[in-house]
Amino acid sequence: MSKNQINNVYMDARREWNERYGSYIKQAHIWRGVSFTLLLVTLLSVGGFIYTSSQNRFIPYIVQIDKLGEPISVFRAKASMIKDPKVIKFALSEFIVNYRTVYNDKDVQVQMIKKAYNYLSANSPAYNMLTQYFVDNPPFHQKKRVVVKIISVLQLSENNYQIDWEEKTFNEKGEYTQTDNYKGIVKFALVPPTTERTILKNPIGLYIVEFNFNQKIK
């Protein structure tokens, strides 16, 4: 066999190898690229899912009501609004009213007590104090009605407020009997709500840590 024939055979064999295995190698490179792309997309998707899951998906809203308790406007609460002294004063006032009011309807009284507990964290000092108060002074079946009126709510420090209020007492016939004035100090913490349940009960996440009050001497 001549040298040219040998070279032609060699070239034909090399060309056949390139055509056969070169396509395999090319396909392998393509599949590696596709696999790497899919892996990258999967990692990004999982990472995005984890990040989204870790975020608070519940958005607190502020409901503005009139004197009769009817809602007149609803708007999304911003962080600055939640820390607004006006919003805090409203929450503290609501706590005092629900805590001190004595009503002659059992169902209404139960609802007011529940609303007072919404501002307390279970097993906290304030929670135990309120529970002991209701044990010593059960509001049910009392032969009187106590109407609470908030006089002022003053900020003493970042998380401490002074609340002054009056309590008008009426007997079981609805006759006015007396008026007493009180002053209380309330310490609280703001804990942003993370579940729909807590948002509905305590939308701004205000929890009373300690409270005490005294009757003013006339």
Q: What is the rounded CA–CA span in Å between residue 52 and residue 73?
A: 30
Reported as type and span, the H/E element at residue 26 is helix 3-54
The Cα 122–Cα 145 span in angstroms is 28
8 has pLDDT over 60: no
**Predicted local distance difference test score (pLDDT) of residue 147:** 95
Q: Which of 137, 159, 154 is CA-nearest to residue 146?
A: 137
pTM of the predicted structure, to 2 decimals = 0.65
Q: What is the pLDDT of residues 49-77, one digit of tens each?
A: 565 555 545 555 666 555 555 555 555 55
User: Could you say which DSSP state residue 141 is in?
Assistant: T
Tell me the C-alpha distance between 64 and 66, whole Å: 7
Where is pLDDT greater, at 87 or 14? 87
Calculate the average pLDDT of the chain.
Answer: 78
* Contact call for residues 170 and 145 (beta carbons, < 8 A): yes
DSSP secondary structure, 79-99, as one string: HHHHT-HHHHHHHHHHHHHHH
CA distance 177 to 168: 8
Residues 6 or more apart whose CB falls under 8 angstroms from that of 92 comprise 153, 161, 163, 186, 188, 206, 208
> Could you read off the pLDDT of 79-126 as tens digits, one per residue?
555 578 888 999 999 999 999 999 988 899 999 999 999 999 888 899
Q: Residue 98 CB: number of other CB atoms within 10 A?
A: 19
- Give 153's contacts (C-beta < 8 A, 6+ positions apart): 89, 92, 93, 161, 162, 163, 164
pLDDT digits (tens, 9 = 90+) for 137-159: 888 888 899 999 999 999 999 89
Which is it for strands 71-76 and 160-171: parallel, antiparallel or unpaired? unpaired
Name residue, tokens 């939308």: 203
H or E stretch covering 147: strand 144-157
pLDDT category, 7, cuts 50, 70, 90?
very low
**Which phi and psi (to 5°) does residue 173 adopt?**
-90, -5
Give the distance between the most distant pair of CA atoms in the chain.
Answer: 132
**Residue 162 DSSP one-character state:** E
